[in-house]
Structure 1
């Protein structure tokens, strides 16, 4: 997506939010002023030849920094450990709304990873594409966690010590944008503003460390990647348990992954659903508590999927659609959706990441507005329609290949 299209999207969504009365104007102006002053101060220091490194740390601070780095490395092992870490933070600190949002989005990341080895998506990919797609997803997940988790732990340490410790954020290469947000949150609160700011921050991280990286262009430009957008198959789902113990799906469709503005807007819409609709929030918490994340889609729909492979399956075999209505056809086998453990080994990230701050102006501040939850938040029916569409597409391709 071009720069002018991004600007137009930002302007349009901004105007629409103002019309709906969902913009926090005072916070926006305050944060923009603080960010502008910080950028000006850094520029002047650079012109004088001064280093911008953080000041020397006390022994206690150094010990805390080492501890947070160590725990972040351990929990950044794979999608399952990250997803669990997000939940544990939210369970300890319920004011950190972003941690629950991240937990549920991370579950979706796991589903996408295991789809690459399951009954459906795997059949539509050429040799080698599975690995490239996985590395793309893993890199995005890892980058977000490596940036956000130290922030969450530092906040919890601040609360434990009864004093703000956000002067340590530069030790983790955290953006100046988030340093201002955390200091404001500590002084004034506002969970919604903090959550939206973290969404903005992490999507800018993905833009810098993944989308704009040359090594991932083959994935982004591939037919399979583009087709998901055109067919509205890119859904972020939040399984939630009703009081009757029935699993429903809340969420929304991602219009296009390639637009930074759209990704931020998706996060904003998902947050509005998760914390703006009491039934969804309570049901998501029930689901998260009762359902350990394995990354198999059987975690939420056991009547359709299975994580167990009953017999070897050749992806070259013809595939016959198995879903009818909202259940399997009589006599049909469940769709194979493996766990992460059965799909992919842990991948140590040796590529490193740029520590350059993505925030070089006040432009991101205009994204600091909320959204109202969509009335069409329940996408269970849409999910089933799309699943059947994917089945038909996969079946058609498998039949063509079988006849070649």
Structure 2
């Protein structure tokens, strides 16, 4: 994996030394043939995962349902909130702004990119959760079965460590490392997505407009507020992992705010529409009559007097369920040095994002109006 950081620390805390030792001692080997009971466990987990891996809405709900049963698995809630954002990004492609900037083909390509990543992460992460649940039920460590789900040997080491030492932070950040590394060849550097998404002008436009915001809504002082982070370099594995660490800290560093976000999530079913958090600005029904002249409607995260809300459809209305090809096989793990990502950088994250997000929406609206004006002149 090469050198991860400019100044790699000379020593590691004891908790990471033991993980380093286990990773260095682990050799790649094929699992033994499972027993009849183990086969039943594997098949049950595969079926449960398949039944819930239907679309972004079912996946997102599954993460939250699991977290409510097992709050010690912090990634399940982090994954739930990030997956909500994935759904909002998917419906944006059929919403009131991006439909004016993207062609149908471009929108479909971008959706396929988002959907494939969302599907892949779920089919990799959720069996790990169910195997943990099965281990609790049986009172026995069953993580030696992870290879049957094609889960990285890195995570087998981490789950074994969690089983004995119960460190939720190590497990969460390890899952961030694992899922982002898992996507690297299968999505980020996949030839199709590179050509149809990353090399397109529209994706660059999205990056310039800073629309890669990850939002965590919560209710405080009688109104919904937003915290979160922005990712500018989506193609960088290193940056995506660091983003995941920051998001985890934003979500879990303040226990009062964590409970506020959790309360909002429990009270607000995920639909994919941005109406879920800002019904005063977004609506799941198109309010603008076709042919209406485009004018600025948004200023400072408030609609101008008498303005129509922005269209943000439900995900199940915007997109049909997709059939996916099986995940490409192969283990991303190569070097124990990924352990350095598990170090705490001691930085505090305030998560302030609402103002930046509002400015991005305004820029996006202006871009849509400008493109419409150009098309009329043409």
TM-score under structure 1 length normalisation = 0.89
Determine the structure 2 residue equivalent to 1:333. 308
Q: Give how far 1:371 is off.
A: 4.7
Counterpart Cα distance in 1 of 2:169 and 2:294: 46
Residue matched to 1:11: 5
Aligned length: 377
Distance of aligned partners of 1:372 and 1:109 in 2 relative to their CA distance in 1, 3 Å threshold? farther
Q: C-alpha distance in 2, partners of 1:375/1:258?
A: 23
- The separation in 1 between residues aligned to 2:328 and 2:149, in whole angstroms, is 12
For 1:78, the equivalent position in structure 2 comes to 55
Instruction: Determine which of 210, 215, 220 is the counterpart of 2:198.
Output: 220
Q: Corresponding residue for 2:213?
A: 235
CA distance in 1, matches of 2:345, 2:353: 18
The CA deviation string for residues 209-258 of structure 1, in whole angstroms up to 9 with x for no partner, is 1012111112011112122223333111101122x342110101112100
Specify every segment of 5 or more residues in structure 1 that has no aligned partner in the other structure, as ranges. 43-51
* Larger mean Cα displacement after TM superposition, 108-117 or 57-66: 57-66
| Match among 266, 284, 298 for residue 323 of structure 1 | 298
3-state SS in 1 of match to 2:323: coil
Cα distance, 1:322–1:36 mapped onto 2, change above 3 Å: same
Contact map agreement 1:121 1:394 (CA 8 A) in 2: yes
SS of the aligned residue for 1:238 comes to strand
Contact 1:273/1:280 (CA < 8 Å) preserved in 2? Answer: no
2:312 and 2:90 map into 1 onto residues whose CA distance is 10
Please give the residue correspondences for 1:14-93 in structure 2 after superposition, counting only pairs within 5 Å.
25-39=13-27, 42=28, 52-93=29-70
Q: 1:387 is matched with which residue? A: 361
- 1:177-188 matches, within 5 Å, as 177-188=154-165
SS of the aligned residue for 1:11 comes to coil
Q: Distance in 1 between matches of 2:263 and 2:30?
A: 44
Tell me how far apart the structure 2 counterparts of residues 152 and 225 of structure 1 sit (CA, whole Å): 33
Offset, 1:401: 1.0
In the TM superposition, residue 325 of structure 1 has moved relative to its aligned partner by 2.4
Deviations 1:34-59 (A, max 9, x none): 112113xx3xxxxxxxxx33112222
Aligned partners of 2:302, 2:108: CA distance in 1, in Å? 31
Question: Alpha-carbon deviation of 1:360?
Answer: 2.2
**Structure 1 segment 24-173 matched on structure 2, within 5 A:** 25-39=13-27, 42=28, 52-173=29-150
For residues 97-135 of structure 1, the C-alpha deviation after alignment (integer angstroms, 9 at most, x for no partner) is 000000000000000000000011121113410110000
Q: Give 2:172's aligned residue.
A: 195
Alpha-carbon distance in 2 for matches of 1:394, 1:69: 44
Partner-residue secondary structure (3-state), 1:87: helix
Partner of 1:253: 230
Deviations, residues 137-167 of structure 1 (Å, cap 9, x unaligned): 0010011000000001111111121111111
Deviates more, 1:265-274 or 1:323-332: 323-332
* 1:171-194 residue CA offsets vs partner (Å, 9 max, x unmatched): 100100000000000011100000
Contact 2:288 2:308 in 1 (8 A): no
Cα distance per residue 1:336-366 (max 9 Å; x no partner): 000101100000102x222211112223222
What SS does the aligned partner of 1:258 have?
Answer: coil
Distance 2:319 2:254 in 1: 35
Change (3 A) 1:229 1:369: farther
